[in-house]
Amino acid sequence: MHNFKRVAVSTAALAMLGATSMASAIGVDRLESTLYPNYVTDDMLMNADVDSQNWLHYGKDYQMTRYSQLSQINRDNVKSLTPAWNLSFGILEGQDSQAVAVNGTLYVTTSFNRVMAVNGATGDIIWKYERELPGDVFPKLCCDVVNRGVAVYKNKVYLATLDAHVVALDNQTGDVVWDKKIGDYTYAETFTIMPLAVNGKIVFGTAGAEYGVRGWLAAIDADTGAPAWKTYTIPGPGEPGNDTWGGDSWKYGGGSTWITGSYDKETNQLFWPVGNPGPDFDRHVRPGDNLFSNSTLVVDADSGKIDRYFQYTPNDPYDYDGVNENVQIDLGGKKLFVHGDRNGHIYGIDRRNTVKTASGNEMVCLWATVMNDVNWIKEPISPENGNCRPVFNYPEMDVVYDRVTQNIAPSLDGGKEWHPLSVSLRTKMAYVPIYNFTMDLQAKKMEWKRGEWYLGAKVITFNAGAGLIKAFDVATGKLAWTKSQSWPATSGLLSTAGGLAFYGDPEGRFNAVNDETGEHLWSFNVGTGIHGNPTTYTMEGKQYVAIVYGAGGGGIWPL
């Protein structure tokens, strides 16, 4: 893969005469805002869904919609977008981050765990934090030296690091307030996640399933960094779900938690995605459903106690990492979340109602829709077929020791990769970035060794393919429109009240399309592939759209 100069760009609308209306930002206590500029309160975090000025969470709001009420940039004037400024990060490798915006100040991470505070109108750097990473951490990273962003709360900025620390930085200076060792990177517990600030805690999860790490989710006190709770995603002996693992396979069972979860404000519960089991491709050494890998776990935000779950791909032999985001929306009296999965399907899951299983309470699947080419199942996934439980296309598409299984669809990248979808509260559509590739696999028996790769594969080959952007009705799962492209969809989506959806691509184009039809309205080529996510904010009454770009982040595709 070629290395390019990695940069960030912000784009502002030109000549927005009279376009001054916007939703009000949530107020800040006068004393706190005087003493601590850019002070972020609990109320601001809780009401981020009605705050158009700022971008405070991974998905903008606790619901994870990536929808902005801003409409200064809209279908009528988007063709006039030109770069407002361009900032070089001065560092190579993949850039998977996004800009968090607080009162016009952007906080953004780069590869190798650098953090920058940037003036959102000019692109001038206010401060920079650079971390010295231990040299022996790099072999423990499955997918490049990336980071997905910082959490903001009170007068601090929170970074989860590759060497398994959480660092609190002063939001005005970048000085370290505290630095806490949380995990053990020598065991391959590494952090690439953007943490979530909620109820005075910082919540985050670990990567490492490709090394046989037993996954977990944890919370620490936002003021001090003191531990609050820790919940393993792979149950141990005596815990519900442990009997879905053969023998001691749970000890090396994966279930990473490296994408930020959403938060239900009414129930005080986190909806956290959980990734693939370990080893990735050898299901034969871990018989059973392998709970709670490839699942969404619902946990109490104050205690970490598991309440319910939904599993997408049980006993997964394809690395269909179910760690993608869960976007909450209320429609027609139903409270659901939308989840696009690497297994080639997008799901609508009831957040409240459950069915009883031997391992606990499983949430009810309302609908499931195929997003791309799929051949690993024998029959369609649907609520009528065992609550959307898949029926595998075995023996034809099984991953075994004595032969190469060819053209498995989709590949391990999806379907939908980790790049987040957006749900528009205006159109009630989900805008989804999709890979449409196949792969060849052959399993291999491997012995787990601490801190070493634990893939369980002899052959992993990716075949030629393409990509898609699709829009789905979130009430029914029905396809609304499709935009085909000859490359995979490697950027997250942003939807706005201006009738637009924004996204990047690996050819370097930052695009805007009509959110109702998919019609292409505007693009700007940044000069290198885009893996980061677009965000939007206002400063001095003007709307900006920001994109982090720079190819990398573990993406693999033949073109």
Q: Which of the residues are catalytic?
A: 319
- Give me the phi and psi of 156, to 5 degrees please: -130, 160
Q: Which residues pair with 484 in a beta bridge?
A: 468
Q: How far apart are CA 114 and CA 20, in angstroms?
A: 35
Separation of CA 319 from chain center: 16
For 45, the enclosing helix (H) or strand (E) is: helix 42-46
For 511, the enclosing helix (H) or strand (E) is: strand 509-514
Task: Classify residue 182 by burial, with Cβ atoms within 10 Å: 0-12, 13-18, 19+.
Answer: buried
Closest to 41 (Cα-Cα) out of 64, 25, 21: 25
Structure tokens at 485: 């492209």
Residue type (1 letter), 343:
N
Separation of CA 304 from chain center: 20
Q: How far apart are CA 194 and CA 223, in angstroms?
A: 18
Residue type (1 letter), 354:
T
Closest to 374 (Cα-Cα) out of 414, 411, 409: 409
| Cα diameter, the chain | 69
Three-state secondary structure call for residue 185: helix
Query: What value, to the nearest 5°, has the Cα angle with vertex 152 and ends 149 and 156?
Result: 115
Query: What value, to the nearest 5°, has the Cα angle with vertex 50 and ends 539 and 74?
Result: 60
Closest to 343 (Cα-Cα) out of 414, 430, 393, 419: 414
- By DSSP bridging, strand 494-496 and strand 479-485 are unpaired
- Cβ neighbours, 10 Å, residue 170: 16
- Cβ neighbours, 10 Å, residue 80: 12
